Structure 1
Amino acid sequence: MSHRPIALEPAAVDVEVRGGIRPADVRHAKETVAALTRLAHEPVLRATVKLVASPHPGERRTAQAVLDVRGRLIHAQATAESTRKAVHLLNDRLRARLLKTTRDWENLRGRELRDGEPGRRHPAPPEEPLPHRPRREDPVIVRRKTYALERAIPDEAVFDMEQSDYDFHLFTEAATGQDSVVYRAGPRSRGDGYRLAQLDPRPGLLGPVRAALTVSPVPAPVLTEQEAVERLEFTGRPFVFYADAATGRGCVLYHRYDGHYGLITPTPA
């Protein structure tokens, strides 16, 4: 028996607004995301959208969305010079991820990602990097996220990162037991592949890796939270992966689109 999709009505789409967002753009986002839920082959339990307008003139607008498809989260985000255009780009990316996931998620996770298969990365619609470094006089950590790190092989971590439309993914590497982070080795448009960093790199123990992946030979620095902030500012990089001086666990401190910081830490074992 075929399963009939269960879509959401626009009123059921939750929208969080930050900054000066017009009511018409909120309605447009609700209608856009609700229409996409008709593509799901399983019930969509919840859809959330975040629309962000920076208070600084001339900065780009951001639209983010998360669909809970029967417990499976599908993420997408886009930036543009206007909220309406950001929602339009978000529609394209969310549609692509929803269709890709719907085709055969369970089979993809256990198979080799050969060229041409749905799990292999394909170019997304043209996108500029998030404006992660608007200058602030007093940036602080405004978002903290703690979760139990998934145990996965690098190929699975790359797949999960791409499905979530993130620039990095913190996880526990299955073969070595190391807290690790996988990230893009260069701009998305250039197709440079991926990079893996670990607390104590053990590339010889990783086993076969199908993704275009290189391994950093440098151990993660042992830092306090304040030292991580100082290193992030000094290096100018989008994020810093480090071993927490108190717990020894792998953490990621990153620049947010609003000029502040976000911190991801693992749940204590």
Structure 2
Amino acid sequence: MVKPHAISEVELRVTGRVSSQDRELALNKIRALCELGHEPVLDAVVKLKVRPKATLELPSIAEASLNLNGDLVRAHAAGQTIGEAIDLLDDKLGRRLRRRRKRFEDRRHDAEPENRGHTPGYVERPHDERDVVRHKTLAMRPVSLEEAADEMDQLDHDFYLYLDVDHDIDRVIYRNGDGELHVAPAVDGENLPGDTRPSIYSGPLVLNHLPLLDAERLLDHGNEPFVFFAETAKGRSQVLYRRFDGHYGLITPAV
């Protein structure tokens, strides 16, 4: 019996030398992923590309796009070999589909009568009682914007501080209230990803140069869940965020 969300045909687009075994591997993995969701798969496209190795560290690219009842779910992966890229693609796309299904199940659970009217939120704590109760120092290796987005997804966070390998600056990628991905600070002329994964937009946030105490005040009186700032003495960007217990958390790069 064919599942209602299964798909009989997956479109395959190939650039470069890709063996028939690797082509079949990619098709089988995408067909299997199509059965993970709860929605009809209207169409599925997988792209395999092998570029000259002489000039690239990761010459093999695997991309996939699934149309889930009108919503596109995309993933992109690069590897030393096309087989490695396909395996990474399978892992990334699988995580996104499982998260999507979990969000659907959570929303359905929250809509049940016994849960109506209950919305988790922040503990209301007086301003003068709030402290930085968690300070996390990160050894940030340079990564691309797409890698930062994937890392944020894997950690199931709403924001992620990282060192951008293409621009050599500290940046923060985050979800807004509608679930869209944004990155700040914006870089003029940057070609943001959007073809093989959920689109990423330039965010309106700016890097505030101010001491920690002022960052706390800005967080207290604003509507954002975090403040992206840098203390003049330290120079590196930091993120001060509001915890659900009403206190603050602070994320700073390792020096």
**Counterparts of 1:1-80 in structure 2 under 5 Å?**
none
Residue 186 (1) aligns with residue 173 (2): no
Amino acid in structure 2 at the alignment position of 1:152: V
Asked if 2 retains the 8 angstrom alpha-carbon contact of 1:176 and 1:206, the reply is no
Asked if 1 retains the 8 angstrom alpha-carbon contact of 2:143 and 2:165, the reply is yes
Residue 140 of structure 1 deviates from its aligned partner by 0.6
Q: Which of 86, 106, 111 matches 1:126? A: 106
Amino acid in structure 2 at the alignment position of 1:126: D
Identical columns (%): 32
3-state SS, counterpart of residue 204 of structure 1: coil
Asked if 1 retains the 8 angstrom alpha-carbon contact of 2:192 and 2:201, the reply is no
**Counterparts of 1:163-174 in structure 2 under 5 Å?**
163-174=154-165
Asked if 1 retains the 8 angstrom alpha-carbon contact of 2:158 and 2:175, the reply is yes
CA offsets, 1:21-68, max 9 Å, x none?
xxxxxxxxxxxxxxxxxxxxxxxxxxxxxxxxxxxxxxxxxxxxxxxx
Question: CA, structure 1 residues 177+206, in 2 after alignment: closer, same or farther (shift >3 Å)?
Answer: farther
Q: Distance in 2 between matches of 1:259 and 1:218?
A: 23
Residue 111 of structure 1 deviates from its aligned partner by 4.7
Asked if 1 retains the 8 angstrom alpha-carbon contact of 2:193 and 2:200, the reply is no
CA offsets, 1:124-160, max 9 Å, x none?
3426876234323510111111111131111111111
Mean alpha-carbon deviation: is it higher for 114-123 or for 256-265? 114-123
Aligned residues: 156
Residue in 1 aligned with 2:151? 160
Residue in 1 aligned with 2:218? 231
Q: Which of 131, 150, 156 matches 1:140? A: 131
Q: Distance in 2 between matches of 1:154 and 1:180?
A: 9
3-state SS, counterpart of residue 226 of structure 1: helix
User: Where does the alignment leave 5 or more consecutive residues of structure 1 unmatched?
Assistant: 1-95, 97-106
Question: CA, structure 1 residues 207+197, in 2 after alignment: closer, same or farther (shift >3 Å)?
Answer: closer
Q: Which of 133, 141, 144 matches 1:150? A: 141
Residue 220 of structure 1 deviates from its aligned partner by 0.8
Output the TM-score relative to the length of structure 2. 0.53
Q: Distance in 1 between matches of 2:147 and 2:153?
A: 10
CA RMSD of aligned residues (A): 2.9
Amino acid in structure 1 at the alignment position of 2:124: P
Structure number with greater Rg is 2
Residue 218 of structure 1 deviates from its aligned partner by 5.0
Residue in 2 aligned with 1:221? 208
Amino acid in structure 2 at the alignment position of 1:202: V
Residue in 2 aligned with 1:263? 250
Q: Distance in 1 between matches of 2:232 and 2:64?
A: 37
Amino acid in structure 2 at the alignment position of 1:259: G
3-state SS, counterpart of residue 254 of structure 1: strand
Residue in 2 aligned with 1:114? 65
3-state SS, counterpart of residue 126 of structure 1: helix
Asked if 2 retains the 8 angstrom alpha-carbon contact of 1:153 and 1:174, the reply is yes
Residue in 1 aligned with 2:11? none
Question: CA, structure 1 residues 175+141, in 2 after alignment: closer, same or farther (shift >3 Å)?
Answer: same
Asked if 1 retains the 8 angstrom alpha-carbon contact of 2:205 and 2:228, the reply is no
Q: Distance in 1 between matches of 2:202 and 2:64?
A: 19
3-state SS, counterpart of residue 219 of structure 2: helix
Q: Distance in 1 between matches of 2:167 and 2:191?
A: 7
Q: Distance in 1 between matches of 2:220 and 2:147?
A: 31
Residue 209 of structure 1 deviates from its aligned partner by 4.9
Asked if 2 retains the 8 angstrom alpha-carbon contact of 1:168 and 1:181, the reply is yes
Amino acid in structure 1 at the alignment position of 2:234: T
User: Where does the alignment leave 5 or more consecutive residues of structure 2 unmatched?
Assistant: 1-36, 38-57, 67-72, 76-89, 111-118
Q: Distance in 1 between matches of 2:236 and 2:137?
A: 12
